[in-house]
């Protein structure tokens, strides 16, 4: 059976399904956007909040009136204005009463209105409410003076305001959040006093930019306080409408003392980021501790009370408080990102607003509201004055008016006679007829005349306001200033200059460590306290499980936050943070270095140094196996690519062996295998700075069969005490041992392969020119080829020394335990060695450790 178009009844409208769905969904979406989820930019309220406040205003629940049951208010809102669920209305009312949700609550709640622990409020039949003074003064005042438009409610039985006559930019004051169809808004709250300052500044200087306004409104001000990290996110939000603002809890590190127990370090949290659930936060911390994702926490408790928040996180004895706190910031809601999305309804359409546009929309609305109020007051004044003019006419002709009224047969005739005789309007005639006899007295007549004169001045003033925009702006300024004086409070959220990014380094304690690298390329990191200090002439402790065909190549001290620079024999530099080097026990072999760095098989790491900061006035001095030396700025190695960076250009069969840090005013001392040492300045006249891809110059003139064994740097303060000698003449050896040394250092530490060593005052190594023969640094115990110079280092009295043998035996001892002797002496035994073992290197530990109680800055 088929139908023709003519057979379709008129009440059925043929339409495409796609068009119908599209139109219906669009209407639904716009209804949600405009009528439910997004706030109006003028008064900063969504319809449900506006209806609640207006209903409370109609019920007379002002700040100076008694509380009324919330159920009464919810019923009023549901019955007259908001035909939705009661829970939606009550939830909105509750939020307007929570001081941790609103920067300036609009409702004064009496009873249980929930808590920051996300505890639910009591049922509406138990709680009571009334308006806050701010809501009455800043949102509802003048609403009866035709300042805003009214419209029909859902059934046409009542009139409701389409917007409230806000005297403050309420949308910025308390913020707003909501999810509509295809869009959302998230506007942070602000400080009332700062908003008023911004409004006044824009009134006086309309050309101010968003960034200029940030001088008056520096950023959001959240009701729960906390820290706002950096201004970048704020700037983005204010200038583009979108930005990510980082919020962080306020936490301090305190020492808790209690009778009968040792003092404990604890993290005390007193303020939380906005909308952070305290109870859920503590559950998250406990979960991370149980899962061993955060170490160092021994106890967690909530000591919050009516005076404020206090969450106590007790730490273990060996924990580093700052590291634990950084881990909490990174893994818990103690630090959050508030995604600002400044979307609001303007002229019936959703718009993304900047800071200046927010204030401009408010000022435009406020100007219109004041103009409408002025016109209303003008009309009322003119109507009243019109009546007074009629009364004054009657008083001027009192006897005749009385006679006319007495002669009239009824009120209608009297009204007509008055209108005809004295040219009065019907309203004036009625006013005369209703005038009481007591107003015929001279005193009452004078009051009428005075009121008429006052109204004439008021009418002139109101007309002047309507004629001059500047008068309107002055009124706005006066009103907002009064509100600031009455309601402004100090800022709660502090803006600090911190980007809030927590790097891996912030989560690592800056402990003192030693790093060991073997000849075959195994590397590991160990805590310094792995090796307790021993006396001189001890046997040491095993520091690594070295294979028979392997031996320790590099051993040095550093801090875990240092950046470790690796230099290969082919003159390529690599970089790695110290904390990324895997830790290992004393007996562990270590991790193959090729797993950490992209080093080709034919390359070998020959020098490793630790750098805390890439200073502009520091240099790297590089020394090759053939004795070529060069100086390159340390800053040239601040950004090393993953695959390395060329550090030096090498001749055929040459290798880069040693790299040290220096300043121009320092000096360099170099030792050879046969016990010679040369000392020369690092100044530009002796060693000028070169770029990375250069070879360098000759450092020392070696005898036949000799080779370089090490290089170290002497600080400038000591160098300046030397007398420079241009000739490299050998000084006459001094045979006697220096039994006592009154010098405070530094010294040249000389260690031989057979375990002997000594401290030689640096004054015995006079300054020479580069490329000389040098001076004798030590006299060997035996005349065999097996006894050679193993290490030559500059040391100070407070230094500690770690000596490493080829079999991985390590001994740690104080430098001052080693005798101070002359250059010609053989030294004292530092370590007892096995028959087939020998000293290969020595490391000086860096001063200043967290073992001494210093707190890590990170």
Pairing assessment for the beta strands 747-752 and 656-662 based on DSSP bridges = unpaired
What domains can be seen in the chain, in order of their start residue?
45-165 (3.90.199.10), 250-333 (3.30.1360.40), 376-487 (1.10.268.10), 508-852 (2.120.10.90)
Give the model confidence (pLDDT) of 736-770 as tens digits: 344 445 466 789 999 998 889 999 999 899 999 99
C-alpha 528/C-alpha 500 separation (Å) is: 32
Mean pLDDT of 398-405: 86
Q: Which position has the higher pLDDT, 509 or 530?
A: 509
What is the end-to-end Cα distance of the chain in Å, rounded? 83
C-alpha 656/C-alpha 665 separation (Å) is: 24
Question: Is pLDDT above 50 for 499?
Answer: yes
C-alpha 155/C-alpha 182 separation (Å) is: 29
Q: Are 208 and 201 in contact (CB under 8 A)?
A: yes
**How sure is the predictor about 814, in pLDDT bands with cuts at 50, 70 and 90?**
confident
Give residue 782's pLDDT: 66
C-alpha 808/C-alpha 590 separation (Å) is: 12
Mean pLDDT of 486-495: 94
Q: Are 270 and 308 in contact (CB under 8 A)?
A: yes
Q: Are 572 and 603 in contact (CB under 8 A)?
A: yes
Give residue 855's pLDDT: 37
Give residue 148's pLDDT: 95
Return mean pLDDT, the chain.
86
Q: Are 827 and 738 in contact (CB under 8 A)?
A: no
Give the model confidence (pLDDT) of 630-673 as tens digits: 999 999 998 888 888 999 999 888 999 999 999 999 999 999 99
Residue with tokens 């859920």: 280
C-alpha 646/C-alpha 631 separation (Å) is: 14
C-alpha 9/C-alpha 6 separation (Å) is: 8
Give residue 787's pLDDT: 81
Pairing assessment for the beta strands 242-248 and 335-341 based on DSSP bridges = antiparallel
Q: Are 621 and 711 in contact (CB under 8 A)?
A: yes
What does the angle CA 63 – CA 64 – CA 69 come to, to the nearest 5 degrees? 65
Tokens of 466: 């309507």
Question: Is pLDDT above 90 for 435?
Answer: no
Residue with tokens 């249980």: 112
Q: Are 295 and 321 in contact (CB under 8 A)?
A: no
**How sure is the predictor about 623, in pLDDT bands with cuts at 50, 70 and 90?**
very high
Cα–Cα distances in Å, from 533 out to 156, 583, 788, 814? Answer: 91, 20, 26, 7
Q: Which position has the higher pLDDT, 544 or 273?
A: 273
CA-CA-CA-CA dihedral for 225, 227, 232, 237, to nearest 10 = -20
Give residue 803's pLDDT: 86
Give residue 737's pLDDT: 40
The phi, psi pair for 411, rounded to 5°, reads: -65, -40
β partners of residue 621: 631, 660
The phi, psi pair for 126, rounded to 5°, reads: -100, -25
Give residue 500's pLDDT: 62
Question: Is pLDDT above 50 for 692?
Answer: yes
What is the per-residue DSSP string for 486-536? HH-----SEEES------GGGGS---EEEEEEETTSEEEEEEGGGS----T
Give residue 160's pLDDT: 94
Q: Are 713 and 667 in contact (CB under 8 A)?
A: yes
Q: Is 653 left (phi over 0), alpha (psi -120 to 50) or beta?
A: left
Mean pLDDT of 607-629: 90
Give the model confidence (pLDDT) of 130-176 as tens digits: 999 999 999 999 999 999 999 999 899 999 999 999 999 999 999 99
Give residue 127's pLDDT: 96
Tokens of 166: 């806000």
For residue 126, count other CB atoms closer than 10 A to its CB: 13
C-alpha 71/C-alpha 126 separation (Å) is: 8
C-alpha 167/C-alpha 478 separation (Å) is: 11
Give residue 501's pLDDT: 64
* % the chain with pLDDT above 90: 51
Give the model confidence (pLDDT) of 287-339 as tens digits: 999 999 998 999 999 999 888 899 999 999 888 888 899 889 999 999 999 99
- Look at residues 169, 191, 176 and name the one whose alpha carbon lies nearest to residue 480: 169
Q: Which position has the higher pLDDT, 849 or 710?
A: 710
**What's the chain's length in residues?**
858
Q: What string of H, E and C letters represents the secondary structure of 690-716?
A: CCCCCCCEECCCCCCCCCEEEEEEECH
* Most confident listed range (93-102, 492-501, 822-831): 93-102
Mean pLDDT of 464-484: 95
C-alpha 375/C-alpha 109 separation (Å) is: 37
Give residue 537's pLDDT: 53
C-alpha 155/C-alpha 75 separation (Å) is: 16
Pairing assessment for the beta strands 789-795 and 512-518 based on DSSP bridges = unpaired
C-alpha 679/C-alpha 766 separation (Å) is: 7
Q: Are 344 and 42 in contact (CB under 8 A)?
A: no
126 is catalytic: yes
**How sure is the predictor about 548, in pLDDT bands with cuts at 50, 70 and 90?**
low
Question: Is pLDDT above 90 for 93?
Answer: yes
**How sure is the predictor about 807, in pLDDT bands with cuts at 50, 70 and 90?**
confident
Pairing assessment for the beta strands 747-752 and 697-698 based on DSSP bridges = unpaired
Q: Which position has the higher pLDDT, 543 or 86?
A: 86
Strand residues in 685-819 grouped as ranges (E): 697-698, 708-714, 747-752, 756-761, 775-776, 789-795, 800-805, 809-814
Q: Which position has the higher pLDDT, 626 or 31?
A: 626
Q: What string of H, E and C letters represents the secondary structure of 543-592?
A: CCCCCCCCCEEEEEEEECCCEEEEEECCCEEEEEEHHHCCECCCCCCCEE
Choosing from 126, 216, 320, 376, the catalytic residue is: 126
What is the per-residue DSSP string for 411-426? HHHHHHHHHHHHT--H
Query: 208 in helix, strand or coil?
Result: coil
Distance of CA 455 to the CA centre of its chain: 58
Give residue 104's pLDDT: 96
Tokens of 755: 């375990």
Question: Is pLDDT above 90 for 719?
Answer: no
Alpha carbons within 13 angstroms on the beta-carbon side of residue 473 total: 12
C-alpha 208/C-alpha 204 separation (Å) is: 9
C-alpha 79/C-alpha 71 separation (Å) is: 12
C-alpha 305/C-alpha 311 separation (Å) is: 10
Give residue 251's pLDDT: 92
Give residue 677's pLDDT: 94
The helix (H) or strand (E) run that includes residue 429 is: helix 426-434
Query: 456 in helix, strand or coil?
Result: helix
Give residue 783's pLDDT: 61
Query: 810 in helix, strand or coil?
Result: strand
Give residue 130's pLDDT: 97
Q: Which position has the higher pLDDT, 832 or 129?
A: 129
Query: 370 in helix, strand or coil?
Result: helix
Question: Is pLDDT above 70 for 847?
Answer: no
Pairing assessment for the beta strands 227-229 and 494-496 based on DSSP bridges = parallel
**How sure is the predictor about 7, in pLDDT bands with cuts at 50, 70 and 90?**
low
Give residue 257's pLDDT: 85
* % the chain with pLDDT above 70: 90
Q: Are 466 and 378 in contact (CB under 8 A)?
A: yes
Give residue 599's pLDDT: 85
Tokens of 506: 């912030």
- Look at residues 560, 609, 599 and name the one whose alpha carbon lies nearest to residue 580: 560
Q: Are 845 and 529 in contact (CB under 8 A)?
A: no
Give residue 356's pLDDT: 96
Question: Is pLDDT above 70 for 555?
Answer: yes
- Look at residues 711, 606, 730 and name the one whose alpha carbon lies nearest to residue 666: 711
């Amino acid at each position: 059976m088929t139908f023709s178009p003519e057979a379709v009844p008129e009440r059925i409208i043929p339409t495409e399904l796609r068009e119908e769905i599209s139109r219906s969904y669009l209407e639904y979406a716009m209804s949600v956007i405009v009528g439910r989820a997004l706030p109006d930019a003028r008064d900063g309220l969504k319809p449900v909040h506006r209806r609640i406040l207006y209903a409370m205003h109609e019920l007379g629940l002002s700040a100076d009136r008694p509380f009324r049951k919330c159920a009464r208010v919810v019923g009023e809102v549901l019955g007259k204005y908001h035909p939705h669920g009661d829970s939606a209305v009550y939830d909105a009312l509750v939020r307007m009463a929570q001081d941790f949700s609103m920067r300036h609550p609009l409702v004064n709640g009496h009873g249980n209105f929930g808590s920051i622990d996300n505890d639910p409020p009591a049922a509406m039949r138990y709680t009571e409410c009334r308006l806050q003074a701010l809501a009455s003064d800043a949102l509802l005042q003048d609403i009866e003076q035709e300042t805003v438009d009214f419209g029909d409610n859902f059934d046409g039985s009542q009139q409701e305001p389409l917007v409230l006559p806000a005297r403050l930019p309420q949308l910025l004051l308390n913020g707003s959040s909501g999810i509509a169809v295809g869009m959302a808004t998230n506007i942070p709250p602000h400080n009332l006093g700062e908003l008023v300052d911004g409004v006044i500044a824009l009134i006086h200087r309309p050309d101010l930019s968003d960034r200029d306004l940030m001088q008056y409104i520096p950023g959001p001000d959240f009701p729960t306080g906390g820290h706002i990290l950096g201004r970048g996110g704020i700037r983005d939000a204010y200038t583009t409408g979108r930005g990510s603002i980082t919020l962080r809890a306020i936490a301090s590190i305190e020492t808790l003392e209690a009778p009968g127990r040792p003092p404990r370090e604890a993290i005390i949290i007193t303020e939380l980021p906005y909308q952070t659930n305290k109870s859920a936060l503590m559950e998250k911390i406990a979960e991370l501790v149980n899962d061993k994702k955060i170490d160092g926490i021994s106890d967690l408790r909530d000591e919050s009370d009516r005076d404020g928040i206090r969450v106590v996180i007790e730490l273990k004895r060996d924990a580093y408080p700052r590291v634990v706190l950084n881990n909490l910031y990174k893994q818990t809601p103690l630090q959050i990102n508030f995604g600002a999305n400044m979307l609001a309804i303007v002229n019936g359409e959703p718009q993304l607003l900047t800071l200046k546009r927010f204030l401009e929309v408010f000022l435009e609305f406020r100007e219109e509201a004041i103009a409408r109020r002025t016109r209303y007051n003008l009309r009322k004044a003119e109507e009243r004055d019109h009546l007074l003019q009629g009364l004054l006419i009657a008083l001027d002709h009192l006897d005749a008016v009385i006679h006319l009224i007495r002669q009239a047969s009824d009120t209608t005739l009297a009204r007509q006679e008055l209108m005809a005789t004295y040219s009065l309007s019907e309203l004036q005639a009625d006013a005369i007829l209703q005038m009481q006899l007591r107003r015929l007295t001279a005193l009452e007549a004078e009051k009428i005349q005075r009121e008429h004169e006052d109204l004439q001045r008021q009418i002139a003033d109101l007309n002047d306001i309507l004629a001059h925009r500047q008068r309107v702006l002055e009124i706005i300024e006066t009103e907002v200033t009064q509100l600031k004086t009455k309601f402004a409070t100090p800022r709660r959220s502090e803006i600090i200059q911190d980007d809030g990014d927590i790097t891996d380094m912030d989560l690592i304690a800056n402990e003192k460590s030693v790093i060991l690298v073997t000849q075959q390329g195994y590397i590991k990191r160990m805590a310094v306290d792995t090796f307790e200090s021993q006396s001189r002439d001890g046997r040491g402790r095993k520091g690594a499980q070295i294979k028979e065909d392997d031996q320790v190549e590099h051993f040095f001290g550093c801090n875990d936050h240092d950046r470790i620079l690796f230099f290969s024999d082919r003159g390529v530099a690599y970089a790695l943070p110290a904390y990324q080097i895997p830790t290992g026990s004393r007996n562990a072999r270590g991790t193959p270095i090729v797993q950490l760095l992209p080093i080709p098989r034919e390359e070998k790491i020959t020098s490793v140094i630790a750098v805390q900061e890439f200073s502009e006035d520091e240099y790297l001095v590089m020394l090759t196996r053939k004795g070529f030396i060069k100086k390159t700025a340390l800053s040239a190695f601040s950004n090393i690519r993953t695959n390395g960076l060329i550090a030096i250009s090498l001749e055929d069969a040459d290798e880069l062996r040693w790299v040290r840090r220096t300043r121009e005013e320092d000096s360099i001392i170099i030792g050879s295998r046969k016990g010679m040492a040369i000392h020369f300045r690092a100044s530009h006249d002796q060693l000028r700075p070169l770029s990375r891809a250069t070879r360098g110059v000759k450092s020392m003139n070696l005898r036949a069969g000799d080779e370089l064994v090490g290089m170290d740097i002497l600080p400038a303060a000591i160098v300046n005490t030397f007398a420079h000698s241009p000739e490299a003449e050998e000084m006459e050896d001094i045979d006697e041992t220096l039994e006592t040394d009154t010098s405070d250092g530094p010294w040249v530490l000389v260690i031989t392969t057979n375990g002997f060593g000594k401290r030689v005052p640096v004054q015995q190594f006079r300054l020479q020119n580069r490329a000389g023969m040098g001076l004798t640094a030590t006299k060997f115990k035996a005349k065999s080829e097996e006894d050679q110079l193993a290490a030559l280092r500059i040391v100070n009295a407070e230094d500690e020394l770690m000596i490493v043998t080829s079999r991985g035996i390590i001994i740690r001892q104080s430098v001052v335990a080693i005798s101070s002797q002359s250059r010609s002496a053989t030294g004292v035994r530092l370590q007892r060695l096995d028959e087939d073992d020998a000293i290969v290197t020595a490391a000086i530990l860096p001063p200043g450790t967290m073992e001494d109680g210093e707190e890590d800055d990170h």
